Amino acid sequence: MMKHRTRAAIALALAGTVLGGGRAAGQQAVMDTAATNALGRMGQYLAQLTEMQVNATITKEDVLPDGQKVQTSGTADLVAVRPNRLRVAIDGDRQQRLLLYDGTTFTVWAPKLRYYASAPAPPSIIQLADTLEDRFNIELPLVDLFRWGTPNAPLSEIRGARDIGPSAVGGVTCEHYAFRQNGLDWEVWIQKGEHPLPRKLVLNTLNDPARPQYTATYTWNLAPSYGRDSFTFVAPPDARAIPFSQMRPAYALGQQ
């Protein structure tokens, strides 16, 4: 199974600067500047968005102990207001969760099980993501959308880049790009025009013989509707509070 730290490396690699060419550990690397420049533009555009709503349709493969691959799917609907408001509704084959962050408190609500966990939170979405991973082994769904464009990204992770050509995702005209780094091949479809949004992402893990795949398709709304209470949790009368240590360590659907 692909671990969240592997996926985080991709997020960091997608920086808002133009990447240079080169050779990858003694072998010839294809480094297409059209692909790396497009990646830079996408990162810069995402980094300047102050409000967004993203609905992600996600399919991922897990590898069973005997090597057989199984597929799970679902959706993650995110509303974010930078720097410190976030709401994510996860609806997957294995779980349903609502994640709320109001700038001071982070809460995970399990509506079917009727329990929730809350904890004090740092003052930004990125700091929240780092804290959840470091302290609780919980990955914030769709966190890559906030890390793309990070200036301190390890650009050396990317060892190959190709412009595959024009394509369409959900009727939106895109350009399809493919990238390679150690242990991982991945692809991104970027919307053409003035709004270079990622519309689709595919990850293939190479250091597992089964090569499990992760796919996410994104639908965007850059003028979302929300109220003042959209990011604050109010516990229903029948809800039960539990400590974060009892939460499942990772979101099977929301990882990316």
Q: What is the pTM of this model?
A: 0.84
- The predicted structure's pLDDT at residue 244: 80
- The predicted structure's pLDDT at residue 57: 97
Per-residue model confidence as pLDDT tens for the chain (256 residues):
334 444 434 443 343 333 333 333 445 568 999 999 999 999 999 999 999 999 999 999 999 999 999 999 999 999 999 999 999 999 988 789 999 999 999 999 999 999 999 999 999 999 999 998 888 888 888 988 988 886 655 556 889 999 999 999 999 999 999 999 999 999 999 999 999 999 999 999 999 889 999 999 999 999 999 998 999 999 999 999 999 877 764 443 344 3
- The predicted structure's pLDDT at residue 17: 31
Q: pLDDT digit string (tens) for 51-86?
A: 999 999 999 999 999 999 999 999 999 999 999 999
CB atoms < 10 A from the CB of 166, how many?
11
Nearest Cα residue to 85 out of 149, 35, 128: 128
**Residue matched to tokens 């959706």:** 75
Nearest Cα residue to 9 out of 209, 159, 175, 198: 159
Nearest Cα residue to 75 out of 106, 97, 100, 107: 97
130: tokens are 């780092």
3-state secondary structure of 121: coil
Complete edge-to-edge strand list for the sheet that includes strand 69-81: 160-169, 172-181, 184-191, 198-205, 213-221, 51-63, 69-81, 85-92, 96-101, 105-110, 115-120, 240-241
Asked whether the beta carbons of 99 and 255 are under 8 A apart, the reply is: no
- The predicted structure's pLDDT at residue 4: 42
- The predicted structure's pLDDT at residue 188: 96
DSSP class of 250: S
Distance CA 250, CA 137 (A): 7
Distance CA 91, CA 224 (A): 20
- The predicted structure's pLDDT at residue 137: 80
In DSSP terms, 88 is beta-bridged to 78, 99
DSSP class of 256: -
Q: Looking at the chain, how many residues does it have?
A: 256
- The predicted structure's pLDDT at residue 147: 86
